[in-house]
Copies of this chain bind each other. A is one copy, B any other.
Amino acid sequence: MKVLLVEDDLLLADGVQVALSRKGYAVDHVTRGKDALSLVSSEDSCPDLIILDLGLPDMDGLDLLPKIHQKSAADNFVPVLILSARDALPDKVAGLDSGGDDYLTKPFEVAELLARLRVLERRAGNRTQTSQSATIALGPVSLNTSNHRMRLNSGEEIELPRREFSILRILMENPGRIYSREQLNSKLYNWENDVASNAVDVHLHNLRKKTGADFIRTIRGVGWLVEKHP
């Protein structure tokens, strides 16, 4: 899950970045609006979520919002969480009405930011699904996205390491969709160009020990998917 953090306060940005990557997000951080725009337009490193600070040096964050929505077409709509020191009512209203999907005022607690991100995620990802809680259930496997635990059938709940969790979540959020090795790589890591790594393969292997061998299917030459379960 790739998050784009648009924030010019380096100290804050670092804190958020650490917290997010600890949860398995891949974080791209930029300080300027124009950099954000170019990332949104890019095919491969387009983020799944955007955290947008309104107080940017080069442009007003509010002006950025419509541009972001313009770039990200309807089919790959990217939700935006606004982060702002402006806690006055008109600012909130303006932010939300300009296209923000949520509005959090500084100072904030990281746990709340994370929870609100999960809401946006599940909205964006689970379009086809009825479950709107923090757990995704698909066939024999259910995955709790807030505590990173999975359960096979009615077995024990076990905790997944970060990378394994990220991969499983990506696959389970879009059942039936194939993700290539490159796609998974770009969602797991920041602007990588490391072509020759089989880290994803190894994580998949370890995941299959936990989900059962058949849950994650391989489409040879293309990628991996989990089936849509009835």
Contact = CB atoms under 8 A, between A and B. Distances in A.
**Interface range for A:** 35 or more
Contacts of A38: none
A63 to B, nearest CB: 12
A68 B221 CA distance: 42
A153 interface: no
A196 interface: no
Nearest to A123: B123
A83 B224 CA distance: 41
A176 interface: yes
B130 A162 contact: no
A146 B96 CA distance: 10
Given A74-B128, A148-B222, 17 more contacts: A69-B130, A70-B130, A75-B130, A77-B126, A92-B115, A93-B111, A93-B146, A96-B115, A97-B115, A97-B133, A97-B134, A99-B134, A101-B123, A128-B131, A146-B177, A147-B178, A162-B222
25 contacts: A66-B133, A69-B132, A70-B130, A73-B130, A74-B126, A74-B129, A77-B126, A77-B130, A89-B109, A93-B115, A96-B115, A96-B116, A98-B133, A99-B134, A100-B119, A101-B123, A102-B119, A123-B123, A127-B127, A127-B131, A131-B176, A148-B219, A148-B222, A161-B220, A162-B220
Interface of A: 65-66, 69-70, 73-75, 77, 89, 92-93, 96-103, 109, 111-112, 114-116, 118-119, 123, 126-134, 146-148, 159, 161-162, 176-178, 219-222, 225
